[in-house]
């Protein structure tokens, strides 16, 4: 599916950058371009983008009346991300919105002047994209998806629900620069929780199947699945393999647990996209990106799938269930 088809699926035809007879109308509108490290056919990705657009509309920015939107989805393909980033910047929109660290990096390499608002990014300070969270400076701001110690929290939740597991594989994508923000915390916490870590780098479905199958050859294993485009795209495969090999797994987003994953803990992604839209709206009204603090997404969700727990032979402690935001039965 090409990007124009994806835009149409999101809720009606998006007005492209105007040409010829539309030039006069363009002077009355603001333009927002977005580069997303998402996949066009993923219904969850479409829901996140709809949340972004709905929030803009609630702020008074109505597509076709006073705003034009140009969405580009490039998955986790570095070459395509660079190409799409260059095309968007050449259009000179009023604001750029981006989701996913690879997409943010691609845009940051194309412009130091156009304002950029991001969502679904781990640690922009460590990546050198902003000076600090409180005072980002430059042209970039947005909403991060983790806080320090997140990796340790995933291990803690695994041990709370599967205490007998002493080996943990961390499923991550080496092509995504945000992955470096997760592993050090997990590695530091591993001795505290008495687990041996394996880092399983995956770039595609074949890598995922090989890594999980090989890891499962020894007993007492569990998985930490790190948020990245590859794991989101292939979530059904990961969940199927985890079930086949009886591996308890913790996932970064609710959508994994809803699809049959054991437990998930992470940000509410639609909410994060709405927050990003609020910053886009503020910039369209004159705010400077560098003056808006980078913020942690405001809502986190702990979701437990009891059906999957039962299939794994695990009994979830009642206090843990009481802490959960959602229990799927």
Q: Are residues 94 and 140 in the same domain?
A: yes
Residue 123: the pLDDT is 84
Q: Are residues 24 and 104 in the same domain?
A: yes
Q: Are residues 141 and 181 in the same domain?
A: no
Q: Are residues 38 and 110 in the same domain?
A: yes
Residue 271: the pLDDT is 93
Q: Are residues 116 and 26 in the same domain?
A: yes
Q: Are residues 67 and 172 in the same domain?
A: no
Q: Are residues 31 and 67 in the same domain?
A: yes
Residue pair 256/44 in contact by the 8 Å Cβ criterion: no
Q: Are residues 206 and 111 in the same domain?
A: no
Query: Which structural domain, as residue segments, surrounds residue 60?
Result: 3-145+268-299
Residue with tokens 């997760």: 182
Residue pair 169/208 in contact by the 8 Å Cβ criterion: no
Percent of the chain residues past pLDDT 90, beyond the cut: 76
Q: Are residues 208 and 287 in the same domain?
A: no
For the domain that residue 240 is a member of, what is the CATH number?
3.40.50.2300
- Number of neighbouring beta carbons within 10 Å of residue 131: 15
Q: Are residues 84 and 210 in the same domain?
A: no
Residue pair 204/75 in contact by the 8 Å Cβ criterion: no
Cα–Cα distance, 154 to 160 (Å, whole number):
10
> Could you list the pLDDT tens digit for every one of the 329 residues in the chain?
444 444 443 444 344 444 443 444 444 699 999 999 988 888 999 999 999 999 999 999 998 899 999 999 998 888 999 999 999 999 999 999 999 999 999 999 999 999 999 999 988 998 899 999 999 999 999 999 876 678 899 999 999 999 999 999 999 998 888 777 788 889 999 999 999 999 999 999 999 999 999 999 999 999 999 998 899 999 999 999 999 999 999 999 999 999 999 999 999 999 999 999 999 999 999 999 999 999 987 788 999 999 999 999 999 999 999 999 999 99
Residue 13: the pLDDT is 37
Beta bridge partners of 264: 251, 303
Domain count for the chain? 2
Q: Which of 275, 271, 240, 277 is nearest to 253 (CA)?
A: 271
- Number of neighbouring beta carbons within 10 Å of residue 77: 15
Residue 24: the pLDDT is 41
Q: Are residues 80 and 227 in the same domain?
A: no
Residue 148: the pLDDT is 61
- 130's tokens: 């902003």
pTM of the model as a whole:
0.86
């Amino acid at each position: 599916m090409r990007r124009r088809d994806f835009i149409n699926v999101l809720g009606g035809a998006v007005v492209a950058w105007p040409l010829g007879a539309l030039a006069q109308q363009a002077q009355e509108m603001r333009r927002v371009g977005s580069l997303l490290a998402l996949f066009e056919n993923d219904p969850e990705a479409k829901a996140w983008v709809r949340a972004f657009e709905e929030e803009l509309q609630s702020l008074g920015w109505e597509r076709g009346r006073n705003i034009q939107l140009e969405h580009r989805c490039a998955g986790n393909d570095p070459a395509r991300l660079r190409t799409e980033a260059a095309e968007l910047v050449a259009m000179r929109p009023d604001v750029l919105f981006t989701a996913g660290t690879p997409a943010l990096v691609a845009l940051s390499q194309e412009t130091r002047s156009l304002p950029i608002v991001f969502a679904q990014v781990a640690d922009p300070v460590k990546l050198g994209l902003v000076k600090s969270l409180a005072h980002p400076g430059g042209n970039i701001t947005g909403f991060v998806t983790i806080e320090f110690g997140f990796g340790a929290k995933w291990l803690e939740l695994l041990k709370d629900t599967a205490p007998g597991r002493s080996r943990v594989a961390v499923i991550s994508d080496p092509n995504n620069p945000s992955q470096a923000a997760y592993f050090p915390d997990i590695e530091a916490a591993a001795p505290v929780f008495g687990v041996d870590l394996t880092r399983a780098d995956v770039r595609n479905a074949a890598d995922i199947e090989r890594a999980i199958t090989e890891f499962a050859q020894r007993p007492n294993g569990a998985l930490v699945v790190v948020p990245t485009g590859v794991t989101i795209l292939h979530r059904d495969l990961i969940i199927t393999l985890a079930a086949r090999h009886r591996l308890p797994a913790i996932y970064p987003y609710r959508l994994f647990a809803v699809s049959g994953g054991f437990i998930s803990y992470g940000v509410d992604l639609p909410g994060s996209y709405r927050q990003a839209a609020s910053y886009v709206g503020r910039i369209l009204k004159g705010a400077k990106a560098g003056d808006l603090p980078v913020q942690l997404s405001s809502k986190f969700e702990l979701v437990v799938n009891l059906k999957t727990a039962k299939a794994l032979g695990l009994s979830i402690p009642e206090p843990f269930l009481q802490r959960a935001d959602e229990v799927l039965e």
